[in-house]
Amino acid sequence: MAADMSLFSLITHASIVVQIVMLILLIASVLSWFVISMKYKALKRARAEAVRFEDQFWSGINLSDLYSQIKRKTDERQGIARIFETGFAEYIRTHKNKVNTVMMLASVQRSMKVAVTREEDSLNSHLSMLATIGSISPYIGLFGTVWGIMRSFIALGAVEHASLAMVAPGIAEALIATAMGLFAAIPAVIAYNRYAEQVDRLSNTYENFAEEFATILQRQSHASS
């Protein structure tokens, strides 16, 4: 009788070890796509907010008015807006305390550097999960493949008259594990590389804005003194 070589049959009749490998890879794939979707939305929003805030910032609006607007809108107090808010709040505090310009600028730069670091940490969140899934999934799948092929050859050695039909199902189920490992790894690696590049660009935008904003505050402080 010909063996049932359908995908469902191969999975259901696979050894318990191979089935566990397949389950792990399925969970990894689901987690990977969840993170990919979540990071896509988060990075898209961060890019849009950065462009919108910079357009508003360089439109000539009064910095005090912009600061008041940001304080009122809690949903916008992240990304580049959070860096601005942190820097300007420190500027107001040091200006009220009559701190000299050099110390004021150093304090503002330190506070914005901390804000930039926090925003970068937020942008990088969960990217390590994509990197991990992308790097280990092929090896997990390979383990399932090796186990399945080894099991097939052990069974082959136990019979007197061997044929390809006897080992074909075992090898096929083993190769499914490899395919699932690649299915989980490839999207994760592609997404990680793409998102890492986007995070680097946003980080450069944040750092450049912090430097430019510190220079503006320095000029403003000199003009008011």
CA–CA distance, 20 with 27 (Å, rounded to integer): 11
Inter-residue contact 188 to 134 (CB < 8 Å)? yes
What pLDDT shows up at residue 1?
39
CA–CA distance, 10 with 29 (Å, rounded to integer): 20
Domain boundary assignment for the chain = 22-224
> In whole angstroms, what separates CA 131 from the centre of its chain?
8
Inter-residue contact 120 to 199 (CB < 8 Å)? yes
Burial of 63 (0-12, 13-18, 19+ CB in 10 A): middle
What are the residue ranges of helices labelled H in the chain?
7-12, 16-57, 63-72, 80-96, 101-124, 127-157, 164-224
CA–CA distance, 32 with 133 (Å, rounded to integer): 7
Per-residue model confidence as pLDDT tens digits over 29-83: 999 999 999 999 999 999 999 999 999 888 888 888 888 888 877 665 688 999 9
What pLDDT shows up at residue 167?
67
| 126 CB-near residues (< 8 Å, 6+ apart) | 35, 38, 39
Residues of the chain with pLDDT under 50: 1-3
What pLDDT shows up at residue 101?
76
Residue whose entry in the numeric block shows the structure tokens 């910032």: 57
Q: Which two tokens stand for residue 177?
A: 């594990």
Q: What is the pTM of this model?
A: 0.82
Per-residue model confidence as pLDDT tens digits over 15-25: 788 889 889 99
Closest Cα partner for 177 from 77, 41, 29, 65?
29
Q: What are phi and psi of 183, to 5 degrees?
A: -65, -35
Q: Which two tokens stand for residue 94?
A: 């040091």
Greatest pairwise CA separation for the chain in angstroms = 98
CA–CA distance, 66 with 74 (Å, rounded to integer): 13
Q: Which two tokens stand for residue 124?
A: 């990088």
